[in-house]
Structure 1
């Protein structure tokens, strides 16, 4: 589809860019601001065993819809899809803020993730539409700053809302931001859409959602609420395996596939996308469970927990900026290797982390993870976009974003399952499995609720949480090593 931009729009580009950056800020801040508040949310609503589903629900619909929204924007234009996406996101945010149970919150997060699936890719596409290749390199700095600003302000705002107001404001802050972003795009972005019939791969979207959601149930609930040898577990395994098989089968035969597998034949794209999958798992592991460690194990406030995440958020944009220059000097592979090494160093910090080491040590590990993410993600996007032609650049970029979303969704479920099973095992080993449950860990995350627990129970819960999170960080280290190995397998030149 050809979309021409009015010449007069050049004068409005600063306003469009501001609206796009606000939309990106809306989606970017969601991860860090919620991660800081989640221990307090779970302490208020209960359901610690469903902790990871607050993240997984959002990431699942985000991953399942990001490619299809990109396809819809090619047919109907960027403006209507962006506005629809932000509208759905706002509705989901309102429902999140009004939630009275963990189940209601998870359902609202499904809705929120559906909207987020449109916001980020369409915002990036709009920038590609209104700026030429030379201008884009400069604009990329502005877009990177959005991640930096949102990442720094997100944890701080989340901590302040929790400590001074209520965790509900974490979601309600999205309402004015979303309305402003929508208003700017409605007023200033004008498109001439060439009418052209296109097929939409709804089947692929449904199949991948069935496969991923089934896999997430297996990872989170397997061996806990769903016995491994139960008929329900067998059904989930069939759905996960069958859904993935038929997704691949369907995508190879449909006219306009949601995931064009021919681009995976290019070694750089194949390896970069697999690496992006593992980095997505690392990212969600740090974002989701570092606040739980700082608040539940170190007994620090939500604001302090926010600061430990902020260091990752500072490292990311700084590394992205440096990576943009390094790419021209040492190439994308060497730049990616620096990122891979940084991820391993950060994961080692978490692996050896103990309650006595304090939040500064945790924040240092978080910073190295941020540097690793900034170096690797920037290198991958630039390399991928340089490898394919213009006609496939959008879908190649979207496929890489999809792999990160998928990695985050699976990572949240996998690491959440590890945490729950370890806490449950710890309780059983201490003879408390019939007296307290995994959900009792809710009370450890809120100092005002700990008075109802005896000192011995608090000690066991805190030790159990420490043990469970240690296994989570062991998983992070393994993922970081796998990421480094995959980066080593990258071709030395982009066109190999």
Structure 2
């Protein structure tokens, strides 16, 4: 397979590594990189814009206990499709899969915009996730194809700027649409952006692909989806739809575990496994995957519950809550850009360990947020955590890409993205279970002053979300706010614990991984 620009070009220049597989001339790569940045922007904007709209969506549809599904189902379908796309990319090429991903993402966006209930919106988010499962890893893989390890330090800054711009525009637009127009516009906004991204990619990037026949691992994909789907179902609905130790809860979780065990057996024998087990056979790859798992969970935890804390506890508007969340997604790309320079000097592992310290600090700061804290304090904690994630995620991904050749880069990139998406999906379920359990307990045992005025489930939280607090009795609203504070506080404590575990995952990476032979 040879990747070239639309303007033409021959084999890659000497010193780029994958001779005959890269864009021919350095000047040709600019338009291709711009197209990749636009495609990345499609997912990046959606990642930052929806979090601030969740309280408004809950205010319209109700279903606070179900809102973690908006993240979990999206991330689950993204996670289970990422390794499939990664494998297909190494045989069919990057471009057709990028087009497929953009198309699915836009169809899902339309369905989200016209959703009439929380279940309908959850299904639409699943379609979006299948599209994002192609866009994000294909963007990373194309960059890995076009640029050497040394050049990627600079390119990481360009890609990080996409997230930086989205970090400012996304939460701001999400807050504006939710407060002054409709949250539905956050999904319709994807349509022009996706059209421009597809046009730019079609115009500036072509591939000469030697197509090979391949066998998709349908059994592995089905078992993987079933296993994690049941685990997420059990975590999110346990203690809400049924008791934790009830027969449905035990059965669902047990079948989920058995499905994942069967998945491992199938992958050992499959001719073309959806997740080759060799990607977990080296310390760099294992450490990178576990780190990505923690990064995904930390990101979704803060993104899901910081806006809820700002709006439901502090009484901030959706727009202000968006700015608080934007602090994390501003700190991340700034740190990722800086990481590109640092890891060339002190190595991938040391750079990521510095990031891990920032992650722990930011997570601890979130646990110190109280019911009377300021939005500035919440934004500061989010910024510090974002800096840590930027210093952690970027060098670990480049390290993983740099220890394999071109023909395996799509697989390892897909595996790393799978781990991050899986961490986000499971993290959303675990954090949702923590919040729901706290709220369910609070609403089942209210004080005498509000007894009889609260339903016995988490949907009572809509009393202070989505602008509905004005029609609620002050005592009830105050009790719900206090309950939301405790729910989010418990989630923030879980984030701090996870941050410490993430530092342990980084320690698994070899000390001198930066001196391995790069492609």
What does residue range 456-475 of structure 1 map to in structure 2 within 5 Å? 456-475=475-494
CA apart distance, 1:135: 4.5
Counterpart Cα distance in 1 of 2:194 and 2:507: 41
Preserved contact between residue 230 and residue 253 of structure 2 (Cα < 8 Å): yes
Any idea what SS the aligned residue of 2:373 has?
helix
2:33 aligns with 17
Which shifted more, 314-323 or 257-266? Answer: 257-266
CA apart distance, 1:361: 0.5
1:328 aligns with 344
Counterpart Cα distance in 2 of 1:169 and 1:40: 12
1:69 aligns with 85
Counterpart Cα distance in 1 of 2:5 and 2:118: 47
Any idea what SS the aligned residue of 1:69 has?
helix
- 132 and 121 in structure 1: CA distance in 2 versus 1, 3 angstrom threshold: same
- Structure 2: segments with no counterpart, 5+ residues: 10-26
Counterpart Cα distance in 2 of 1:331 and 1:20: 26
Preserved contact between residue 68 and residue 202 of structure 1 (Cα < 8 Å): no
CA apart distance, 1:155: 0.8
Any idea what SS the aligned residue of 1:190 has?
strand
2:512 aligns with 493
Provide, for residues 372-410 of structure 1, a one-character-per-residue CA deviation record: whole Å limited to 9, x for no partner.
111111121122223333332321222111101000000
Of residues 248, 253, 263, the one that matches 1:232 is 248
1:185 aligns with 201
Give the total of aligned pairs.
494
CA apart distance, 1:147: 1.3
Provide, for residues 218-250 of structure 1, a one-character-per-residue CA deviation record: whole Å limited to 9, x for no partner.
111112212223332233123211111011111
1:44 aligns with 60
Q: Does 1:479 align with 2:498?
A: yes
Counterpart Cα distance in 1 of 2:86 and 2:397: 17
2:224 aligns with 208
Preserved contact between residue 90 and residue 411 of structure 2 (Cα < 8 Å): no
Provide, for residues 315-372 of structure 1, a one-character-per-residue CA deviation record: whole Å limited to 9, x for no partner.
1111112211211222222211111111111111111111212110001110111111
2:458 aligns with 438
Any idea what SS the aligned residue of 1:5 has?
strand
- Structure 1: segments with no counterpart, 5+ residues: none
Which of the two has greater helix per residue? Answer: 1
CA apart distance, 1:134: 5.4
After superposition, the CA RMSD in angstroms is 1.9
Of residues 126, 131, 134, the one that matches 2:142 is 126
Of residues 148, 154, 158, the one that matches 1:138 is 154
Counterpart Cα distance in 2 of 1:334 and 1:60: 31
- 7 and 351 in structure 1: CA distance in 2 versus 1, 3 angstrom threshold: closer
- 137 and 348 in structure 1: CA distance in 2 versus 1, 3 angstrom threshold: closer
1:8 aligns with 7
- 433 and 233 in structure 1: CA distance in 2 versus 1, 3 angstrom threshold: farther
CA apart distance, 1:298: 0.2
Preserved contact between residue 454 and residue 476 of structure 2 (Cα < 8 Å): no
Preserved contact between residue 115 and residue 121 of structure 2 (Cα < 8 Å): yes
Preserved contact between residue 424 and residue 433 of structure 1 (Cα < 8 Å): no
Q: Does 1:453 align with 2:472?
A: yes
2:271 aligns with 255
2:15 aligns with none
Provide, for residues 47-78 of structure 1, a one-character-per-residue CA deviation record: whole Å limited to 9, x for no partner.
11101011111111000101111222333332
2:20 aligns with none
Of residues 342, 351, 360, the one that matches 1:344 is 360
CA apart distance, 1:430: 1.3
Which shifted more, 333-342 or 71-80? Answer: 71-80
CA apart distance, 1:33: 0.3
CA apart distance, 1:17: 2.5
Which shifted more, 461-470 or 326-335? Answer: 326-335
Any idea what SS the aligned residue of 1:387 has?
coil
Preserved contact between residue 29 and residue 154 of structure 1 (Cα < 8 Å): yes
CA apart distance, 1:133: 5.4
Which shifted more, 228-237 or 298-307? Answer: 228-237
- 356 and 262 in structure 1: CA distance in 2 versus 1, 3 angstrom threshold: same
What does residue range 294-305 of structure 1 map to in structure 2 within 5 Å? 294-305=310-321
Q: What's the TM-score, normalizing by structure 2? A: 0.91
Preserved contact between residue 208 and residue 244 of structure 1 (Cα < 8 Å): yes
Of residues 379, 384, 388, the one that matches 1:363 is 379
